[in-house]
Structures are given as C-alpha cells and as structure tokens.
Amino acid sequence: MEDKILSLARRRGADAEVFAERTTITRVTFQTDQGMSVNTKVVAGYGLRVIHRGRIGFAATSNPARPELVVDAALEACRLGATARFEFPPAQPLPGVRLFNNRLALQPVELMIASADEIIELARARLPGIQLGLNLEKRVGSLRVINTSGLDCSLDKTDYHLGLVGATSVGNRLISTTESANLSSTPAAARQAVERLIGRLSSTRQEAHLTPGRYPVIFAGSAVPSLLGPLFLALNGITLAQGRSPLADKEDEPVLDHNLTIFNDGLQDFGLGSAPFDGEGTPRRRLTLVENGVLKNFLLDLTTAAQTGRQTTGCAQRDYRNPPQPGLSNLVIEPGAMQLATALANIKEGLIVYEAEPCPPGDRACLETDESVRPAPDATTGDFVLTVKLGLKVEQGEFTGWLSGPVLSGNIFRLGRDLVGIGARQDDLLWALVPFLHVSDVAVEPQGKE
Amino acid sequence: MRAQLQEAFRAIPAQYGDVRIEESQHTRIVFQGRELQEITTRFEYGGYLRLLSHGNWAAASFNALEAPLRSVATETLALAHLLPPVTGRTVLSLSPARQEVRLDPSHDPTRVPLAQKLELISRYNDVLLASPRIVTTYSVYSDSLIRTHFCSSEDRYLYQERAYAGVALKAIAQDGTNTQGYQRSFSRQQGFGSLLNLEPEVEGIARVASNLLRAESVAPGEYPAVVDPLLAGFLIHQAFGHLCEADTLCQDKQLAELMSLGRRCGPDQLSIVDDGTMPNEQGTIAFDDEGAPASKTFLVRQGVLRAHLHNRQTAAQMGATLTGNARAGSYSYAPIVRMTNTYVEPGQALLDELICGIHDGIYCVGAWGCRTERLSFLLRAQYGYEIKDGKTGRTLRDIVLTGDILETLANITGLGNDLQMFGAPKGRTKAGQALPVGFGSPHIAFRTIRVSRP
C-alpha cells in the first residue's frame, strides 16, 4: 500500500515520503471492582508528505480502499502550505539495535493472563484492600519509511510493558500512585514495580502540609522529566526555529550543573522509543544533548534543521496520523553517586516528589480541549512551576505524611548552584532512564496561594 | 454493511456483543504567530468489536478487516473464555431496531474547499496580530465528519452521521516582562457557516489579552462572587459532572456514598441537566456507542441529586435506567461513561441584578483549566472584575477558585436568565479519550467563594 501511495504521488509530479505503520497490540487490563478484560488492537496507517513546486503538504489515512484520496489531500495541502525547506534524503547506512524478541512475539495470551494474575495476587498480599489498576501490554509491529529519493528502511519491533496504578484511602482523600516496567528483556521487572508501588503506598497513613517557604526537594526519577520540561522545550528544534530558545547559539557552553549529562538514546536495545532510524529515515544515534553541563546538541528534524541552518540530529518523532516533529525517543540521564538513604538523611524538613504536573491550571492550557492538559513551561526563561500530584513530606530523614497540591517553582538553568546530588540508580520509566535529583532550595507554596 | 455486521453475532454464544465501524475525515490548520505550522487532512477507517461472555469482556479493534467480522468475533470470544467466569456481571439489553440518522448536508465540512478554511483561520489570526501589544497567537481550525455503523447481538442496527467544525484562538500580549494571554473557542455541530463573521469576537479576544497587561492580581480571600456562563459551565462539567459518571462511582465506594441519589446538592432553584438531544450542540448525539438513544437526564432537580449517568453495565449494576452516555473517543476505544451537553438550567435574574446586590465581591470570567480530586476543585478563571457597591470596577487577573463543589453549589444565591452553551473543537479528555462535549450555564451568583492566586 505504501508503495502504491508513493507511486501515485510520484506520477503527479511530486517528491514524496510515506511513513507506514502496523502494530498489533494485545492488552490485559484489570481494575478492582471491574475485573480483568482482554483486548486486541490492530493499528495500520500511512502518513504521506509531498513536496511540489517548492511547498510541502501532509495527509494521512488508515483506509486502504482509496489511496488516491490521501494523495489528492496531500497535494491540496501542499498547494496551500508552507515553503519546503529541505529535500527528502536518500538512503544511509543504519546502526544496529535489538528490537525484536521472537519469543515475546509468539507469547500466548494465556501467559499474559497468568502473569497479570500473579501481579495482582502479589499486590493484594502485600497491601490488602489496595485499589489496583493494571495494564499489561504486548506490541508487535513494523514501520517502514520510503521516499522518492530512494530511501527505503523498515523495522520489526516487539514491546512488552506493565503499567500499574495503586490507590488507598487516607482520610477523605484517595492517594494514588503509578509504576511501570519494561518487561521486554527483564521479566522480573514486574515484581520490582509492584514492590516499589506498595512500598510507596505503605510509606505513611497521614496527610502532611507545608507552610510556604524554601525547602530541599528530592525529585524522584518519575518526577524529573516534569522538572526538566523547560530544558527539553528549549532544546526542541521548533522552539529554536521560532527564536524562543534561551539556548540558541550556546552550543559548547555550560548551561547546566557540571554533573549533569543527558542523552537522547534512540539505540537502547528493546527501548520503547528505540529504532535504527527516525520518522524521516535519518539514522538514529545515542545523541548527547548535555555533557557535564555543556550544551552539545538540539532535538532536530529535517524541517527545523533547515530552519536553523543545522543538520538534522535524527530526532523526528511521529505516528502515521501526524507529520514528524522533533522530540525525545529514550531520555537517559547519567546516574551520579548519591544513595537515596543519604539524600533523605540530610533533610531536616523537605519533601520527595514522585509525580508533578507543570503549572497549576493556567496560562498555557491546551486550547483545543479547554483544559490544562500539558501547559507549556516558559521556554524563554527556563522557569518551572510544578504542582505536586504525589509527594511525601520528609522530616529528620523520615516520611511524615502525604503531600498533594503544593506548587514548586524555580529555574532549571539556575539549578546548578542548588543541585546537591544525583541518584546512583536510574528509574526505568519505559521511555526514560532517570535518577533522582536532590535540590537543596526550591520555593514551595501551598495549592492556591492565600 | 448492515448484513455484514449482523452476521458477526449470528450463533455466537455470548451474553452480549456489539460492533462499531467508523469512517471519518478530519482537517486541521494551525497558525502560531504569522507562521502556518500545520495543514493536515486525515482519513480514518476502523472498527471496535466487543463481547461479554461468562461475565468477562473481550474486545478487538482494527483498521482494515483482514478476515470476516465473524472470525474476529469468534477469536474475541475465545479471549473472553480464557478468563475465569464471573457471576453477576451483566448489561441492560435493548430491543431490536433499525434507524439511520443523516447529517444536514449544509453541515458537512468536507464540502467546503480547504482554501476557504485556510482563508478563514488566517483572517482571524491576522485580526489577532493586528491588535496592539499582541506578540504571538495560536489559532486552530479543525473539523470532522464521522459516519458510524453500530450493530449489537440484540439485532439493533443504527447508522449515525455527525460533523463538527470549530476554531480555537489564543492571543498573547506582552509589555516588557509582563505577558498575558486570553483564549476562546467556538465549536458546535452547525457547520462551517457558523464560524463566519466572528471578527467582533476575535477582536474581543485580543482586546482582553491586551487589557490584562494593566490588570491587577486579585487579593486572596473569601468573596461573594458572580461567575460568567463559560466559567460556571466549565466548573459544573469538571467538578460536578464527572462525579455523576457511574463507572467512576463503581470504582470508588467512598465517592459513591458522597454522591448517593437523594442527597441535597444546592438550593431549590438549582437544576443540572445532561442532554444529548439538544440540537446542534457539541455533545449532541442520536445514539450513544452502545446503541442507547440519547436522552435528557436531570442530574440535579430542585437542588437534589436525582440521577447518575450510565452505560449498560453500570445501569445493570446499580439498578438504573439507561441514559445514553456510553461514548468512545473513536473506533479504537471501548465506550465509557461520558457527558454529552451538561448545563445549569437558567433562572430569572438579570446580570445587573446579580451584581448590584454585592457590596465587595468579584465577577469571574472564563476558565483556563480545572483540577479536581473527588469533591475538591481548583479552577483558574481567565480574568475578572472587582465588584464594589453593586458595580464592576478594576480588571483582575491571577484568579484561582478553590473549594468543595457541593459546599460551593450550596452557596448559590442567584441564577441568571442567560443560559449559554459552549464547546471546544476537540472536546474534553477522560481516560485518555478526547471527545466532543458541550457545557453551559447562565451567570451564577455565590454567597461566598474562596479566591486565591496561582
């Protein structure tokens, strides 16, 4: 089908690129009071970009019956669309990365159900009365990118991962937390995820409050991507091309604490975001974004590379429904040397944050859904404003109560002077390997300042 | 198509089964500042088949059908039988039916040339950018045409066409380091023509954003307040409506007790409705995604909680009647309990009457977003005005309303006579599914409401 679409576009005089995706998803889900269910999902679709008379257009389809419709639509969008600033690239040598586990691909559903049962029984045994949500998901899929410059690359991939939501009542509140595990190469990761979930829910039965002030904060690995949101926005090629990145022209300059080294690693074996090529067929690599605090690279695709006078860094992310945009594939932050017990012991009064959302609902709410789905952090300054969704108050090294709602603020480019330590162990968030960050001084306000 | 769908369930030994086949076309055009960021057309085709057997659900979603639908049903049944039987789980049934609901052709956005859509959103974007102190914008045009075939094992076949068209516009004003924004969206099931001639409203968006540069931050406290229809409707949808969704109540026993039928939620003058039958509103449907007809449900009548919103399973579980609220974001999702068009019934008061009774209060306008946890809410208004001695005065910003929704509703002192309905182009999200919904309210006056700053 993708060859047919490409051929139709070429016959209409256009340069073209087709992104073809086909994935079969098998999902076992469970919720307390709802029981277990099983479903399968086949996703198959095609995204077409065309360049014609200096302009670029895009259309997509999951309807194989009428390929000419998507070609017509892409050419119409092209006629009205933006100036094309690049050409579709030819084939290039691709790196090796392990993506397909044949045993996993053939794993029967019965085994997934048995695994789910084991996980549920373990969680219930460890914390009777827990309200549990489980999502065990296996994906077997293929991608192919072809273009009229001769590029033709494809891959087959398997993923197997677990998502857990656990909740328990504390007073009138429902405290819930999440955990995830990549089971593609480490089946034992499921048990470890359960233990972490239960351990967190069992930390305390109290609620805690904080008076406004400045406190030491441990951002658990799960909260670090939210904290560093302004950084990733500043590194994004779209922000750079719009002239809004505070990191423009700062390559090879120190921009963060010298202990921080950050990669976008598209070549992790069995990584959720791994692939030998990006969404435009550019070879992926383990891209160093920041090395010992020094800026090394931006997240760029063909469009933003052309707009900023740079080369693509192989960071085009997409599915068939959307044209590519620069983004992270697998985020990796190098671990440090600090043990969590040491970090906690150093805190007289502070908090550890497990889950945080950028901003209270506000300025940059997602316009189209009328809700603050992912309010954007301020790319022009690096300021962050995070609402704690789940945290624990720490006093004299002990957990003394749950926290939800306090607002933390600061600036990620000034974190350097306050970064006390980086965790020695990385948390696996499926798409990221991230250690905790211990920051000595963060402004904390209660939810809704009085 | 009907015969093919009906064949899927013939002699399948399941308690219940249904299938949706959906064909749709979507257009999206995005400007950020002066730059055309995106112009996209997307064609989708797919289906979702689910079966309940021995008390277990199993489902399959697909794009192209590579095997007969009956084979998909047989394989899905086998998945359900892998799970240990569950007693007592059942769904309410409906009678056999044949019905087709077709679109008013004048509402079909695929009949409008792409160039015309681009010209419209480009023009509105230019209006925003032409305003003083507006430094950037985010302007989106989007439309969808959706055709859905539904068939259940009860021999209930339904065909429904829906079309949505909307614009969402945001202006960012800047003066030195002071940056303020304001946004509005306009979306109903009324076709492309309903989006024409909005220049006065678009100019208003830019004007508000610019005026907010001179606004002062609100002083936190507890105030008598009037809230505008958009903010009130948004609050009711987010902080109250979701609490009435029975699938949430089935999973949270404590919440179910707090939201038990018969409890008082507000004064006698308060009635809150969910109505999927309203003509042309964003959440309007003929049937939900389990084949139940849309209905008008009084969630609250004369201040008392009268009903929850149900799907077939929750209605069976809770001994309730179907309300037509089982909705799926697209063919690749199972239907869950969702609102349609949710609003507060109007009263008799004029806005001036609501305001003139307030000595020292606040008039809050628009909503950025809302965060909720059970009955607690935190909602940010887009802006407001102080009310002094019965008159509006200084413009205020950074207004966050917090509280317990039932306590807040109990504080209602007046309802305006000016019901307005709203909808956002892509709708709202629950469990990761974005869905078009409508929400609305008249102006509402509160004896007191807690105001803080972000």
Q: Are B49 and A68 in contact (CB under 8 A)?
A: no
CB contact under 8 A, A63 and B45: yes
The closest CB to that of B426, out of A35, A80, A368, belongs to A368
Mean pLDDT of B327-354: 96
Q: What secondary structure, in 3-state letters, does B154-221 show?
A: CCEEEEEEEEEEEEEEEEEEEECCEEEEEEEEEEECCCHHHHCCCHHHHHHHHHHHHHHHHCEECCCE
B6 and A CB contact within 8 Å: no
So what's the ipTM on this one? 0.91
- Looking at the DSSP assignment, which residues form a beta bridge with residue A27? A39, A137
Q: How far apart are CA B223 and CA B449, in angstroms?
A: 5
Beta strands in B335-411 (DSSP E): 336-337, 341-344, 360-373, 376-388, 391-397, 399-404
The closest CB to that of B185, out of A34, A370, A407, belongs to A370
Q: Answer with the residue of higher pLDDT: B280 or A174.
A: B280
Give the model confidence (pLDDT) of B403-424 as tens digits: 999 999 999 999 999 999 999 7
Residues of B in contact with A41 (CB under 8 A): 60-62, 332
Q: How far apart are CA B282 and CA B166, in angstroms?
A: 10
Q: Are A391 and A406 in contact (CB under 8 A)?
A: yes
Q: Are B444 and B358 in contact (CB under 8 A)?
A: no
The closest CB to that of A367, out of B35, B43, B138, belongs to B138
B115 and A CB contact within 8 Å: yes
Give the model confidence (pLDDT) of B197-253 as tens digits: 999 999 999 999 999 999 999 998 999 999 999 999 999 999 999 999 999 999 888
Residues of A in contact with B434 (CB under 8 A): 369
Of the candidates A14, A20, A32, the one whose C-alpha atom is nearest the C-alpha of residue A73 is A14
Give the model confidence (pLDDT) of B61-79 as tens digits: 998 777 888 899 999 999 9
Kindly state the tokens that stand for A217. 């904060």
The dihedral over CA atoms of A56, A59, A64, A69, expressed in degrees to the nearest 10, equals -80
Return the DSSP state at B45: E
Chain B closest CA to A198's CA: distance in Å? 19
Residues of B in contact with A33 (CB under 8 A): 250-251
B185 and A CB contact within 8 Å: yes
Kindly state the tokens that stand for A413. 């480019």
B389 and A CB contact within 8 Å: no
Interface of A with B in 275-304 (CB under 8 A): none
Predicted local distance difference test score (pLDDT) of residue A405: 82
Q: How far apart are CA A297 and CA A290, in angstroms?
A: 7
Q: How far apart are CA A300 and CA B404, in angstroms?
A: 45
CB contact under 8 A, A372 and B371: yes
Interface of A with B in 321-340 (CB under 8 A): 321-323
B332 and A CB contact within 8 Å: yes
The dihedral over CA atoms of B70, B74, B75, B78, expressed in degrees to the nearest 10, equals 170
A269 and B CB contact within 8 Å: no
B402 and A CB contact within 8 Å: yes
Chain A closest CA to B40's CA: distance in Å? 5
- The pLDDT tens digits along chain A (450 residues) read 999 999 999 999 999 999 999 999 999 999 987 889 999 999 999 999 999 999 999 999 999 888 999 999 999 999 999 999 999 999 999 999 999 999 999 999 999 999 999 999 999 999 988 899 999 999 999 999 999 999 999 999 999 999 999 998 877 777 889 999 999 877 789 999 999 999 988 887 888 988 989 999 999 999 999 999 999 999 999 989 988 899 999 999 999 999 999 999 999 999 999 999 999 999 999 999 999 999 999 999 999 999 999 999 999 999 999 999 999 999 999 999 999 999 999 999 999 999 998 764 443 333 444 333 223 445 567 888 898 989 999 999 999 999 888 889 898 988 877 899 999 999 999 899 999 999 999 999 876 544
Residue with tokens 């949706």: B20
Q: How far apart are CA A50 and CA A145, in angstroms?
A: 13
B114 and A CB contact within 8 Å: yes
Residues of B in contact with A74 (CB under 8 A): 41
CB contact under 8 A, B57 and A73: no
Q: How far apart are CA A250 and CA A266, in angstroms?
A: 24
Predicted local distance difference test score (pLDDT) of residue B199: 97
Residues of B in contact with A321 (CB under 8 A): 42
Chain B closest CA to A234's CA: distance in Å? 17
Mean pLDDT of B432-452: 93
Residues of B in contact with A360 (CB under 8 A): 371, 378, 380, 400, 454
The closest CB to that of B63, out of A43, A57, A242, belongs to A43
Of the candidates A259, A115, A251, the one whose C-alpha atom is nearest the C-alpha of residue A188 is A115
Q: How far apart are CA B51 and CA B57, in angstroms?
A: 6
Beta strands in A247-397 (DSSP E): 262-265, 286-291, 294-295, 316-317, 325-326, 331-333, 349-358, 383-395
B142 and A CB contact within 8 Å: yes
pTM above 0.90, yes or no: yes
What is the torsional sign of CA A257, A259, A264, A270? negative
Q: Are A87 and B57 in contact (CB under 8 A)?
A: no
All residues at 6 or more sequence positions from B223 whose CB lies less than 8 Å from its CB, including other chains: B360, B361, B362, B448, B449, B451
Predicted local distance difference test score (pLDDT) of residue A15: 98
CB contact under 8 A, B118 and A80: yes
CB contact under 8 A, B453 and A323: no
Interface of B with A in 191-230 (CB under 8 A): 220
Return the DSSP state at A376: P
How many residues are there in chain B? 454
What is the torsional sign of CA A249, A254, A256, A262? positive
Count of A–B CB contacts within 8 Å? 217
The closest CB to that of B42, out of A37, A60, A405, belongs to A60
Predicted local distance difference test score (pLDDT) of residue B427: 67
Predicted local distance difference test score (pLDDT) of residue A371: 35
CB contact under 8 A, B36 and A81: yes
Return the DSSP state at B281: -
Q: How far apart are CA B149 and CA B23, in angstroms?
A: 9
Mean pLDDT of B435-451: 96
Interface of A with B in 344-373 (CB under 8 A): 359-365, 367-373
Query: In this structure, which amino acid lies at residue A70?
Result: V
